[in-house]
Structure 1
Amino acid sequence: MIERLEIIRKREGMNKAEFERKLLKSSGYLNMLKKRNSYPSAEVIANFSRAFPKYNLKWLLTNEGSMLENTKNCPIDYSPQLTNKNYPEIYVMIESILSNQKKLFDSIKNLEKSFQFFSENHNSNY
């Protein structure tokens, strides 16, 4: 997901500090996420959706669909009033997607370790 945020930042012509301010985060936030192999919180995703309403959250979170949102048919109000209190189902959905994405990432890392172990042991038998 960090890679997609970087794509959007560059597309918007912003440096990292400007982009992080739009997300209401301090300078260095994206680098911290990258170093920790972490994901933005639901609050940051909501801030993103307010600051950049033309981008598709499904694409941002899952890399599926179009990068740009079709705002004519979009049922979500991207006004500044979008909050956890007004749209709790969005926050629940975002947290669920992030949790599933983290589980998938962890599974991939475990598969890579297993493959590496298998490769090392398989090669040593010959």
Structure 2
Amino acid sequence: MQIVSSSLNEIGGGLSAGKDEMAWLQTSYLIAEIIVIPLSGWLSRVFSTRWLFTLSAGIFTLMSIACGLAWNIQIMIFFRALQGVAGASMIPLVFTTAFIYYQGKELGLAAAVVSALASLSP
């Protein structure tokens, strides 16, 4: 589930978008995620986990702001796709970081906490 789901009616009304176009708001994000998640391990080895996470969080934040400033639905779909690219690499990087910094019994707790937070987040 995505946080944008709760606002689809308001977004569609504000941008005069139809249901097909509104579906692309979610689909563009998910397609970008599906493409980038498998690449995130390789990217973290090439650029470092910290650098990639920082870049991803920055781009995700900028694209969130850009989505709020979008002047039409096509531009918002584009910004959502870029947001999906940035958000996709953050998911596995959080798990990677937990597995790097925690060992033994702490690892199980860290994995449980990260998994719980991932399932509760928008």
| TM-score, length basis structure 2 | 0.30
More helix by percentage: 2
Larger Rg: 1
Q: Which has the higher relative contact order, 1 or 2, with Cα contacts under 8 A spaced 6 or more apart?
A: 2
What is the TM-score normalised by the length of structure 1? 0.30
